[in-house]
Amino acid sequence: METTEKIVEAYVRYINHWATIPNIKCPGQYEIDLLAIDPKSGKKYHIESGVSIATGFSKLTLQKFDPDLLKARLHKSKQRRTLGYFMEHKFSQPTVLATLKTYGFEPGKYQRVIVSWGWEPRVEAEASRQNVLLWKFADVLSGIAEAFRAERTYFTDDTLRTLQLYAMASR
């Protein structure tokens, strides 16, 4: 599990108080980053993270996704930063949908979420049109820091403990 995915899971679990299942393997070398369920409302979430701080690849784009270019080392990073990559590769693959179904996630009855460092201006409208929420990774970090500034619980999870210590140090 990537660090950014662990941070998103920490936010969902400890800040939103949702139940989570991370890193679900799907046939065909696909993976679901995170499933979450809000126990109060029963709402379900399929959350995918695509966080990069590299200047050329930090924002989600509307550039055309090409599955063949995803296999080419030179184009892989650029392809993984497109909304189409998430829609086609992460949310719509038949094996992903079949795996989601085994967890009770029926099409149209859960919210899809993409976590990114940012996105180009038109991406948010297109994501909304496709019923996808966009979360800024910086907002996720800020939410964790704000909640943990007053938190005195000892966390044994290394990522969470590091974030908690940083939040306390930045008071």
Distance CA 166, CA 169 (A): 5
pLDDT in tens, 121-144: 899 999 999 999 999 999 999 898
Distance CA 18, CA 49 (A): 17
Contact between 61 and 121 (Cβ < 8 Å): no
Q: Is the pLDDT of residue 10 over 80?
A: yes
Q: Which helix (H) or strand (E) holds 146?
A: helix 137-148
Long-range contacts of 103-106 (CB under 8 A, 24+ apart): 103/21, 103/24, 103/35, 104/44, 105/35, 105/44, 105/46
CATH code of 155's domain: 3.40.1350.10
Joined tokens for residue 53:
């701080």
pLDDT in tens, 157-171: 788 888 888 877 877
- Better-predicted residue by pLDDT, 10 or 53: 10
Domain carrying residue 112? 3-169
Distance CA 104, CA 116 (A): 26
Q: How confident is the model at residue 102 (pLDDT cuts 50, 70, 90)?
A: very high
Q: What pLDDT sits at residue 36?
A: 98
Distance CA 37, CA 143 (A): 19
Q: Count of domains in the chain?
A: 1
Q: What pLDDT sits at residue 165?
A: 83
pLDDT mean across residues, the chain: 88
- 161 in helix, strand or coil? helix
pLDDT in tens, 17-40: 999 999 999 999 899 999 999 999
- Better-predicted residue by pLDDT, 83 or 24: 24
Q: How confident is the model at residue 58 (pLDDT cuts 50, 70, 90)?
A: confident
Contact between 112 and 131 (Cβ < 8 Å): yes
